[in-house]
Amino acid sequence: MPFLAAQARLLGVSPSRLRASDLRSPYHGTRAGEMPAIETMEDSVRRRALEYSPAMRSAEFFCLVAAAVLWGAPLPFYAFQVPSNEDGFTERPVDVGVILPARAARGRGVRGRSIRAGWGSVRTDPATGLRLTSPATTWAMMGPILGRDDLVALGDGFVREPMRSDDPPALATIGELTAAVDVGRRPGVRALREALPLIRTRSRSRKETQTRLVLTDARLPEPELNFPVLVGGSIVALIDLAFPELLLGFEYEGEQHLIDPEQWASDIRRYEMLTSLGWRIIRVTKSDLRAQRANFVARARAAYSAAAASRGGLLDRSSSAVRLPQNAISNA
């Protein structure tokens, strides 16, 4: 557990012990144990925030990337890096904020941020006891850093509603995100206003959000998210993205589905069950959202058109959308 060297001295710890090789001084006046051998980017942010926390002034709080990670929100790789002086990139310093007119933090490994009064709210994280910007303020402050799709994914993560019995409550509401944008001409406000209407409450991952945006950017209708499939009044599956009137679904397959034998076997049984119920499931991979995006869009359009045709729908060539007869949904 990180601690202040001055406090340790008051408790009788000797100066030589505080200089021992098994202790580090990650920030001025602090001490911490040895570095982990391996850690994720998110774990690095959490560790460095905890190491800085003993030295925090009462006016300071974590914000931006540090706050997003502490809230458990999804972020892309590039959010964890900043340009270095050697024409490359380096690990992003811990973002520490204050409300004006307080003086912003300075020092090795931290990046001070000054926030206008009324432009942000601060909470205490119940899990760590750390002070950090609220989820809505955190999202709004990320406007200058993230692209549209990643802003939508971050917003989706904050407003995600519980869909299973063990899911936590949403961290924010769309109304709170809107209020955070409407405080004024904050940095990144255009990007925030573009992303805000696209945020939904039923996306369970960044990749699900990205898949949805690829489909809608291709002018396909917006699918329902984590659609519950009922058998005998019980939910037997949640389909990542679904057109229930067409019995057509899209499921994102993360890499863990390939390396976990139990997950792989469960997936096979699940897809067999959905097929027996009349569903066609299109499985989506990381490459479908990147290098093979054009091919994926073509596959999605073809699957949508075929499903609509089997239901008596008509393809609207001008919008690539399918118009369904009124009885299609009731017959699904």
Closest CA to 73 of 175, 128, 126, 142: 142
Residue 97 belongs to domain spanning: 36-201
Domain end marker among 182, 201, 220: 201
Query: What is the model's pLDDT at position 313?
Result: 57
96 contacts 64 by C-beta, under 8 angstroms: no
Q: Is residue 92 over pLDDT 90?
A: yes
Domain end marker among 201, 236, 256: 201
d(CA 161, CA 169) in angstroms, rounded, equals: 6
Confidence of residue 181 (pLDDT cuts 50, 70, 90): very high
Residues 197 and 219 both lie in one domain: no
Residues 188 and 319 both lie in one domain: no
Greater confidence, 324 or 206? 206
Residues 135 and 242 both lie in one domain: no
Query: What is the model's pLDDT at position 9?
Result: 86
State the CATH number of the domain containing residue 285.
3.40.960
> For 215-271, how does the pLDDT look when each residue is reduced to its tens digit (9 = 90+)?
999 999 999 999 999 999 999 999 999 999 999 999 999 766 667 777 778 888 999
Query: What is the model's pLDDT at position 327?
Result: 34
d(CA 19, CA 24) in angstroms, rounded, equals: 8
> For 103-159, how does the pLDDT look when each residue is reduced to its tens digit (9 = 90+)?
999 988 999 999 999 998 999 998 889 999 999 999 999 999 999 999 999 999 999
Domain end marker among 179, 201, 223: 201
Residues 190 and 247 both lie in one domain: no
Question: What is the rounded (10 degree) CA torsion for 8, 11, 17, 21?
Answer: -30
The mean predicted confidence, pLDDT, of the chain is 89
Residues 209 and 196 both lie in one domain: no
CA neighbours closer than 13 Å in the CB half-sphere of residue 40 = 7
- Is residue 295 situated within a structural domain? yes
Query: What is the model's pLDDT at position 314?
Result: 42
Across 82-91, average pLDDT: 83
> What DSSP element (H or E) covers 94?
strand 94-99
User: In whole angstroms, how large is the CA radius of gyration of the chain?
Assistant: 24
Range with the poorest average pLDDT among 70-79, 86-95, 157-166: 86-95
